[in-house]
Amino acid sequence: MNEDKKVSKKPWDGRFIEATEKILEGFSASVHYDCRLYRQDIAGSKVHALMLARQGIISDKDADAIVNGLSEIEEEIESGDFVWSQELEDIHMNIEQALIERIGEAGKRLHTARSRNDQVATDSRLYLREEIDRLTGLLSLLQKALLHQARSHEDLILPGYTHLQRAQPVLWPHHMLAYFEMFMRDRDRLQDCRKRVNICPLGSAALAGTGFPIDREYVAEQLGFQGITANSLDAVSDRDFIIEFLATASIIMAHLSRLSEELIIWTSAEFSFVDLPDGFCTGSSIMPQKKNPDVPELVRGKTGRVYGSLMSLLTIIKGLPLAYNRDLQEDKEALFDTVDTVCASVEIMAAVVARLVPKEEHIHRTVTRGFLTATDLADYLVKKGMPFRQAHSVVGKAVLQCISQGKDLTDMSLEDLKAFSSLIDEEIFDVLSIEGSVGTRRCPGCTAPERVKEALAKAEKKIIYE
């Protein structure tokens, strides 16, 4: 055995004659990104050590030394003085080696009854649990911004669209509350996902569990987990808790992307429905007149990378036999990038939404042109006894004539309108007004002012008392 050839100490040195090739060290190292898990790794190790002592597997003295040593290492990491080593591959071996260097023999006992396989699964779950809570808070901020917008322009009526063609008038707060609902469901999904994240795999060891008399329940409780995993093989190789999160994050991004798309359209000169504050826009290096909606564009663009991460994880696990496989290390960059992307996107969209300024005059001009109350005319005829299909056709003919004359329905005289149906009376002009149109839509969940008021109050209550 050529000791000189060995450059670094590896935990598996006993079995190996040759040193690890540098090219492999570079290829397999994850410490440059999984160092992000240091707090979780240290918290898990401390509880593991205390449990080992409680169970008489290591001495109290050793456990104390381990816990203190880990606290010092944590401080060193936080102060930026800790030197990460690629040769030590990952966060787990870096911290363990630092502990051994610091406290000697006792440090070598920490990994009793544990494997990096259950350790990394535990760290990831602790990390994700925290990030789910942070993301939930950010979503709540975005919801508050939507409610603020809704309250600030409670009576504003804007065109509602289908196929991006003007369809029927809706209240501005009704439109804002549509997004509020989407983000509420996203939060529900996150809470549901959190239940499955918050289970402790520690004690599953490499794959088959351990012969030491460990106390898994104690460890789980100390780390704030709600229970322990039921099967050691599953526990070390399960990443579906991450996939669920990535799927939920993908839906959040889809919702943000829809909102973004709307803001992009709304800020165009063609729509001119809202103004974004200068501080959230950029200009052009060549065209002096430009003010571009970069924030929503970037959010729409970043949606792609989150979907990509979901696809990565689904693909990574699809061919893996039980139990742990090194492929699983590839989960982390996708997870971290998703957490960063979705949190940053929600946070900035909350700021943008809070400061949106609707251009009320222009919106009003748009909503009063383009036959948005044609359905109301048809419904009016139905209420007077005409079958809906017939009413639809009668109004269609009236619209056609208006188009050929460059008019709107409200530009027609009562006589002109009566020519299409003798059922039409002078109250028709109230029916054709945008206020009349939204006012009739009084079913639960619809856009009538009293329904929207109720919905807004309910939404505010949810957010205030959460």
* Torsion (CA) 146, 136, 193, 229 in degrees, nearest 10: -170
Task: Assess whether 255 carries a catalytic annotation.
Answer: no
Measure CA 306 to chain center: 9
Binding interface with ligand ARG (CB under 6 A): 30, 90, 116-117, 120, 324, 326, 328-329
Which of 36, 43, 138 lies closest to 91 in space, CA to CA?
36
Which is the catalytic residue, given 111, 257, 284, 309? 284
Tell the burial category of 33 from Cβ atoms under 10 Å away from its Cβ (0-12, 13-18, 19+).
middle
Task: Assess whether 163 carries a catalytic annotation.
Answer: yes
Which is the catalytic residue, given 163, 285, 404, 413? 163
Closer residue to ligand ARG, CB minimum distance, 116 or 187: 116
Closer residue to ligand ARG, CB minimum distance, 62 or 96: 96
Closer residue to ligand ARG, CB minimum distance, 312 or 345: 312
Q: How far is the CB of 325 from ligand ARG (least distance, A)?
A: 9
Closer residue to ligand ARG, CB minimum distance, 288 or 319: 319
Q: How far is the CB of 75 from ligand ARG (least distance, A)?
A: 24
Q: How far is the CB of 17 from ligand ARG (least distance, A)?
A: 20
Measure CA 181 to chain center: 14
Q: How far is the CB of 310 from ligand ARG (least distance, A)?
A: 19
Label residues 327-365 b or e (16+ Cβ within 10 Å = b). Answer: ebbbbbebbbbbbebbbebbbbbbebbbebebbeeebee
Closer residue to ligand ARG, CB minimum distance, 41 or 408: 41
Q: How far is the CB of 324 from ligand ARG (least distance, A)?
A: 6
Find where tokens 């002009």 sit.
Answer: 429
Q: How far is the CB of 117 from ligand ARG (least distance, A)?
A: 5
Closer residue to ligand ARG, CB minimum distance, 112 or 410: 112
- List the catalytic residues: 163, 284
